[in-house]
Amino acid sequence: MNIILWRHAEAKFDVNDLARELTPKGKKQASKMARILKSMLPEQTECWVSEAKRSQETAAFLPYIQKVCSALNPEAHPMQIAQLLLEIPNDKTVVIVGHQPWLGQLCAFMLNQHWETSSYWAIKKAAFWWFEAEVVDEVFLAKLQSMRAP
């Protein structure tokens, strides 16, 4: 499977975290990164987004139907998201548009194959990390294929 972890682009401040919209700069970031992704993604790609408006606006620059998933919201725990990844068939490509800190924690897990509370990687806004992964005997094996930042 291919799993692309894409951090939402720059967003405006709002006291309602889920209502935060992209800034003009964020829209440019998302558009630029989506052009790169579109050139690399197969037609049957799935796009999973959180309930946050900034996540959905970032993903809207891709031509795929969005699956809104509350498990990807900003306060999500990366271990729960890792469990979601186990359900993806090995022949699928999924773009997951999400948030810090769980994106950085999930990237650390995918490359290190274990959870450490001290493993936190900063993911720049609008950047994506592309992993080629497979599940073998209920073990999640991943290899970094590409990482791009705007």
Q: What is the pLDDT of residue 91?
A: 92
Q: Which pTM does this prediction carry? A: 0.94
Domains: count for the chain: 1
- 25-27-40-103 Cα dihedral, nearest 10 degrees: 80
What CATH number is associated with residue 93? 3.40.50.1240
pLDDT over 90, % of the chain: 77
pLDDT of 27:
98
Kindly report, residue by residue over 21-48, the tens digit of the pLDDT. 999 999 999 999 999 999 999 999 999 9
Residues 86-119 have pLDDT tens digits of: 888 889 999 999 999 999 999 998 888 877 766 6
Domain residues for the domain of 63 are 2-148
